Each structure stands twice: as structure tokens, then as C-alpha cells.
Amino acid sequence: MLVKLVQIIMLFASFKLGFSYEIYTTQIESGNPNNVSIHSFPFIEIGGGFYYFGQDKVNWYTGYENCRYLNSELVTFETNDEFDAVAAYLVSKGDRSEHWTSGIDLAKTGTHTWFTNAQPLRITRWAPNQPDNAGGREHCIHLGYVYGHSTEIQLNDRPCNNDNNSLFKYVCEAPKQETISIVVWK
């Protein structure tokens, strides 16, 4: 009897469904195509991405943790354009400090990846003769004016902990934005 009742209810439900229509529908798009204003502090928009420049000088692990406190991660440069935009921002601020990125070769020495997404470093912004894993201790990647005579910001590997005085500022990158549209009949 119970089974029959359930069947009748299901039949009724499907009958009802057959004459219904969606009262709302959703759509997810990447980015913020309508430029809806959102509160992004403390992140700064640069070239379509959102970044936070941590001013305390810390080891790579602490830098990563500090980004996680902000629901972000150390920066990942998917393209030369992204690197150049962030570097240009630092130049515009006159900031000559070293900054940690999410790049590492901790898993396999010599195989440099972004820790955020495990993708290999494809950008071509290494300083000359880097990465060199100097002393066999350099497994975390920072950006900065690597040599005394450097005239541009580039990438270099340095010890991840405070070994050899590698305490740096850091760049956090906020997650990508997505726009959810809801269309409603009313």
C-alpha cells in the first residue's frame, strides 16, 4: 500500500512537472564582465588580477600562511604579461624589495612548479644563470633585483627558510572572480 502511495505521489509529481517551467535560471561566467563594483581591500587590482603586497619580511612558509589568512595564495605567474604587470607596479612604487612567489622545486629538485596549481613555470623571467640552487639549498622562488647590477625585476631561487638571510616580503594573489547571474520570472 505504501509503495502504491509513493508511486501515486511520484506520478502526480511528474505530471505536475510536465506542466511547469523554470521560474529562475542561473549562469556562471568568469571574471566581472559588467564591472560590478566589489570591495577588494586589501587587494589591489593590477592588469585584471588582484594582489596584496605583504610588507613584513618572512620566510616562504610564513609568507604562504599569511596569504592563506587572506583566503589567497602566494602569487602564481601564468604568463609573462602577468609578471610584467606586477613588476611594473613595484617599479612604479619604487619598491626594490625581494618578494616571494608560489614557485618552488621542493618536490623534485630542478623541477620548478607553482605550488598553487602544480603547473611548471613557463614564464621566461629568470635572472641570468638562475635558478642555480646555490649551495644545494635554494628551493623557493622570489622576484626582485637579483644582482647588484640588475636593472629589472626578475626571478631567482633562494632558501625557503631564513637560511642565508632569505627573509622577504611577499605577493599574495586573490582567487579569480566569477560572476553568477540569476534570471527570475516575476
Q: Is 102 in the site for Ca ion (CB under 5 A)?
A: no
Cα distances from 157 to residues 2, 28, 138, 183, in angstroms, run 69, 38, 5, 49
How many CA atoms lie within 13 Å of 102's alpha carbon, on the beta-carbon side?
Answer: 26
Among 138, 143, 154, 174, binds Ca ion (CB under 5 A): 138
Q: Is 98 in the site for Ca ion (CB under 5 A)?
A: no
Nearer to Ca ion among residue 117 and residue 181 (C-beta): 117
Radius of gyration of the chain (CA): 24
Among 29, 45, 81, 132, binds Ca ion (CB under 5 A): 132
Q: Which of 178, 170, 177 is nearest to 68 (CA)?
A: 170
Residues 144-163, interacting with Ca ion (CB under 5 A): 156-157
- Convert 62-89 into a string of H (helix), E (strand) and C (coil): HHHHHHHHCCCEECCCCCHHHHHHHHHH
Piece of the chain touching Ca ion by CB under 5 A; list 38-46, 53-61, 74-82, 94-102: 74-82
Nearer to Ca ion among residue 15 and residue 68 (C-beta): 68
Binding site for Ca ion (CB under 5 A): 76, 130, 132, 134, 138, 156-157
